[in-house]
Amino acid sequence: MRTIKIFDTTLRDGEQAPSCSMHLNEKIEIALALERLRVDVIEAGFAIASQGDFESIQKICEVVKNSTICSLARAVPKDIDAAYESLRKAKSARIHTFLATSPIHMQYKLKMTPEKVLETIDAMVRYAKKYLPDVEYSAEDAMRSDKEFLARALETAIAAGATTVNVPDTVGYATPMEMVEMLNYLQNNVRGIENVTLSVHCHDDLGLAVANSLAALSAGAGQIECTINGLGERAGNAALEEIVMGIHTRKNYYNCKTNIDSTQIYPSSRLVYNLLGLPAPINKAIVGANAFSHEAGIHQHGVLANRETYEIMTPQSIGLLENKMVFGKHSGRHAIEQRLTELGYALSKEDIDKLFERFKKLTDKKKIINDHDLEALANRSVVGASGAFTLDRFTVNCGNYVTSSAIIRLKHEDKLLEEVAIGDGPIDAAYNAIDKLMPAPEHILEDYTIFSVTEGNDALGEVIVKIRCGDKSVIGRGLSTDIIEASIIAYVNGLNRLL
């Protein structure tokens, strides 16, 4: 039985999805979750893209010890140099370089002849190889490439020292049968391919990313590239949880396995959705709220008799905990820390201390704290409530016969700054006052969403705002039993990110 490598690119390709950019502490928390999942390769970023990407790769290399850390690089020396420098502290590292091979990309994007493309592949794989023994080459837009030329490109990369060659369906154009045909052709026509790992990276533009990935697996692929929850460019990538559970559930069909700890799937999925402020679609395969729910009478009857009548996997197999724990003002720090670990969080001692302080304050407002409350508090720790500006106090005045006004006082370094403003409602007034206080570039509030974290009149409210400045978009989050306070915290958090 073959063991298939799982290459996760949530922190690189997943982050490229609109409104899914992450900050350093969020990336570290996700990287640690991927390590707990036992992902074989974590693509931590694109080192040359920004100083932030470079530094986040460096930090991930310091904290992750049991997965290979990978950095993406275009097929140019400066990108490969930056990738290597960002990976220096990794216990196990890989440089991943790419160059397109489809006629449309070579002509219009690269403006290179096929022969020049082959020369560049050879030179840049060799250049990367002088830094690290583990080098991956991706033939961007492989599934729209000429088969014979693609075979030459992969053969060139292997001869230059690539240890993994990747066949991406970059634009989600392929069908499962075409994927099988392509991989069969390559395995029969590329010298040396039997000595390297054959990988695929599928996009979901036609909803076939997972199907194409599993088809590739049955055709001999040894590595699947994917993301948590299928995040990624446009319609996204193949979803890790669907691929892993597809292999796990149909092991007898695929005759292969992965190293993934499937019980970490649900906590990892929830973590990523929560950190990005995205709700999981209720009908999302594996991790959606309805994935293990049964409403139709005939289904309920069958499940009560034997769960296997309508469930092909168990909730426990993906880490969906059935036991619900509740906490109150007498709960201890150790119990809170233990439960957070079970929910998939690995917070530092400092973050746990701060979280426990907020937990105690919350127990003065809520009698019962459940898992959703704890997750919300943990997400606040990861996202970070602090920044250049923090909320000190606020006063709002509103009613249906008065003009809404707000007085906001923010703390910046050692100074307290205060402003007053009016607006069309208390939130608008508060945001107008904050705009006077924070020197953020010109921006617009693109989206404002309120979620109830739990049930009841004392529920925690979470506000997520999306702020756009030109072509840059940031997410701000706020949490409180007071929805106006949550709204103010979210806006300040978002503007801090913009700054």
Asked if 474 and 441 touch (Cβ cutoff 8 Å), the reply is no
Strands (E), 41-92: 41-46, 68-74
Residue 176 sits in the same domain as residue 97: yes
Question: Percentages helix, strand, coil for the chain, rounded to the nearest 5?
Answer: 45, 25, 35
Q: With CA atoms as reference, report the closest residue to 455 among 374, 375, 359, 373.
A: 373
Bigger pLDDT: 44 vs 294: 44
Higher pLDDT, 250 or 275: 250
**pLDDT computed for residue 302 by the predictor:** 65
Boundary (domain end) residue, out of 315, 350, 383: 383
420 part of a folded domain = yes
Q: Is residue 369 part of a domain?
A: yes
- Say if 285 falls within a structural domain: no
Q: In this model, does residue 87 exceed pLDDT 70?
A: yes
Identify the weakest region by mean pLDDT among 14-23, 425-434, 442-451: 14-23
Q: Examine the pLDDT at 241 and tell me if it is beyond 80.
A: yes
322 part of a folded domain: no
Place of tokens 């880490």: 319
Q: Do 116 and 248 fall within a single domain?
A: yes
Q: Report the CATH number at residue 133.
A: 3.20.20.70
Asked if pLDDT for residue 288 goes beyond 90, the answer is no
Give alpha helix (H) positions in 69-132: 77-87, 103-104, 114-129
* Range of weakest confidence among 28-32, 99-103, 298-302, 320-324: 298-302
Contact (CB, 8 A) for 460 and 429: no
Say yes or no to pLDDT of 248 above 80: yes
Residue 349's domain comprises: 333-383
Q: How confident is the model at residue 345 (pLDDT cuts 50, 70, 90)?
A: confident
Query: Across the chain, what does the average pLDDT equal?
Result: 91
Give the least confident one: 61-65, 185-189, 494-498: 494-498
The answer to pTM > 0.75 is yes
What was the pLDDT predicted at 304?
Answer: 62
Same domain, yes or no: 242 and 339:
no
Please tell me the predicted confidence (pLDDT) of residue 323.
53
Structure-token pair, residue 24: 């350093």
- Provide the sign of the torsion angle of the four alpha carbons 251, 253, 255, 260, taken in this order: negative
Domain-located, residue 323: no
User: Over the stretch 466-494, which tens digit does the pLDDT of each residue have?
Assistant: 999 988 888 888 888 899 999 999 999 89
297 within a domain of the structure (yes/no): no
The predicted pLDDT at position 124 comes to 98
Q: Are residues 360 and 437 in the same domain?
A: no
Query: In terms of domains, do 110 and 244 share one?
Result: yes
Same domain, 440 and 468: yes
Q: Examine the domain organization and report whether 51 and 146 are in the same domain.
A: yes
Q: Are residues 137 and 190 in the same domain?
A: yes
3-state secondary structure of 241: helix
Q: What is the CATH number of the domain that holds 425?
A: 3.30.160.270
Q: Is residue 320 part of a domain?
A: no
Residue 19 has pLDDT above 80, yes or no: no
**What's the rounded mean pLDDT across residues 154-174?**
98
Query: Binning pLDDT at 50, 70 and 90, where does residue 17 land?
Result: confident
**Domain end call among 254, 276, 298:** 276
Confidence at 326, pLDDT banded by 50, 70, 90:
confident
Max mean pLDDT among 199-203, 356-360, 411-415, 457-461 falls in 199-203
Mean pLDDT, range 183-194, rounded to an integer: 98
The helix/strand count (H/E) of the chain reads as 17, 15
- Claim to verify: residue 183 and residue 136 sit in the same structural domain: yes
Q: What's the pLDDT band for 381 if we cut at 50, 70, 90?
A: low
CA angle 453, 454, 455 (to 5 degrees): 140
Taking 60 as the threshold, does the pLDDT of residue 343 lie above it? yes
Q: Name 387's Cβ contacts closer than 8 Å, sequence gap at least 6.
A: 492, 493, 496, 497, 499
pLDDT of residue 300: 53
Domain count, the chain: 3
- Give the three-class secondary structure for 122: helix
Judge whether 167 and 199 are in contact, CB under 8 Å: yes
What would the mean pLDDT of 438-447 be, rounded to a whole number? 93
In a domain, 311, yes or no: no
Q: What pLDDT is recorded for position 385?
A: 47
Q: Kindly state whether residues 226 and 364 are assigned to the same domain.
A: no
* Confidence band, pLDDT 50/70/90 cuts, at residue 108: very high
CA-based diameter of the chain, in Å?
79
Same domain, 347 and 421: no
Q: Do 370 and 397 reside in the same domain of the chain? A: no
> For residue 383, what pLDDT is reported?
58
Residue 293 has pLDDT above 80, yes or no: no
**Which position has the higher pLDDT, 334 or 224?**
224
Q: Where among 368, 383, 398 does a domain terminate?
A: 383
Rounded mean pLDDT of 233-251? 96
Mean pLDDT across 235-250:
97
